[in-house]
């Protein structure tokens, strides 16, 4: 009897565990499983700044419903280098919002979001940058994400967002092998070079051109302006030229 009793107690628990780990099934259909599938895989990584006073405050916002609605991210990196994971890599976090990058309109569905503990005005701490590079190496390796497919929140939502701010060290990140940067000796583009088309080719949504230029100059010049100048043209030509 004791063995039967243990079986009666254990069986429901095993069934419950199986239900937890399996994807929901449609009750209208007969389950006939195939092995030809995989998880939805991210194609790029979006960097954010929390624009808050502490990592703990940001964690509270990212894990609860707040006055601005529910938001989340896959990871948060504190100023001291601690890495927190809030959402599984295979799940869709609510970090990007409305925006566009190249041919992608729903960034949340194809990206991983990394929040950086930073108030939006200060420099990014060395320990935080070290942790970010370590995390990017892991994510790009495990998910086969191209190492240049790391963008700013402000890149994909130029009319709404500025983070991770003009102070983010994109050149340092590029030297570690992530994102992109331009050559030290910039070539002069030919007279027929179309800088606006180059912005589009690189990835920016130029329907609001001044906003796109602000995002571009914030990332590659560490400042914000709304009209492309000669240096911008040279940088863009270098970025899109094979």
Q: For residue range 76-86, what is the model confidence (pLDDT) as tens digits?
A: 999 999 999 99
Q: Answer whether residue 168 shows pLDDT above 90.
A: yes
pLDDT, mean over the chain: 89
Query: What does pTM read for this prediction?
Result: 0.87
> What mean pLDDT is predicted for residues 100-115?
96
Domain with CATH 3.40.80.10 in the chain: 44-175
Rounded Cα distance, 89 and 162, in Å: 24
Cis status, amide bond into 164, omega within 30 of 0: yes
The single residue of 35, 39, 79, 115 carrying the catalytic annotation is 115
Contacts of 75 by beta carbon, 8 Å cutoff, 6+ apart: 83, 84, 85, 86, 112, 113, 114, 115, 135
Beta bridge mates, 113: 46
Q: Annotated catalytic, 223?
A: no
CATH of 44-175, one of 3.40.50.300, 3.30.210.10, 3.40.80.10, 3.40.50.720: 3.40.80.10
| Vertex 185: Cα angle to 178 and 45 (nearest 5) | 15
pLDDT band at 67 (very low <50, low <70, confident <90, very high): low
């Amino acid at each position: 009897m004791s063995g039967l009793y243990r079986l009666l107690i254990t069986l429901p628990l095993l069934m419950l565990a199986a239900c937890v780990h399996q994807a929901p099934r449609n009750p209208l259909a007969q389950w006939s499983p195939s092995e030809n599938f995989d998880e939805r895989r991210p194609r790029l990584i979006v960097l954010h700044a929390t624009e808050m006073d502490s990592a703990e405050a940001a964690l509270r916002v990212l894990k609860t419903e707040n006055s601005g609605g529910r938001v989340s991210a896959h990871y948060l990196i504190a100023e001291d280098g601690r890495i927190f994971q809030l959402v599984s890599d295979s799940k869709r976090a609510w970090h990007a919002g409305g925006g566009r990058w190249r041919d992608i309109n729903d960034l949340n569905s194809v990206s991983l979001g990394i929040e950086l503990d930073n108030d939006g005005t200060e420099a990014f701490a060395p320990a935080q940058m070290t942790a970010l590079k370590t995390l990017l190496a892991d994510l790009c390796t495990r998910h086969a994400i191209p190492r240049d497919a790391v963008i700013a929140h402000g890149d994909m939502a130029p009319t709404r967002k500025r983070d991770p701010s003009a102070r983010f060290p994109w050149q340092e990140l590029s030297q570690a092998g992530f994102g992109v940067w331009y050559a030290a000796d910039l070539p002069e583009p030919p007279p027929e070079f179309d800088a606006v088309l180059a912005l589009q080719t690189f990835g920016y949504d130029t329907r609001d051109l001044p906003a796109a230029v602000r995002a571009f100059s914030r990332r590659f010049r560490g400042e914000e302006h709304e009209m492309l100048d000669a240096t911008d043209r040279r940088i863009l030509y270098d970025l899109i030229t094979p």
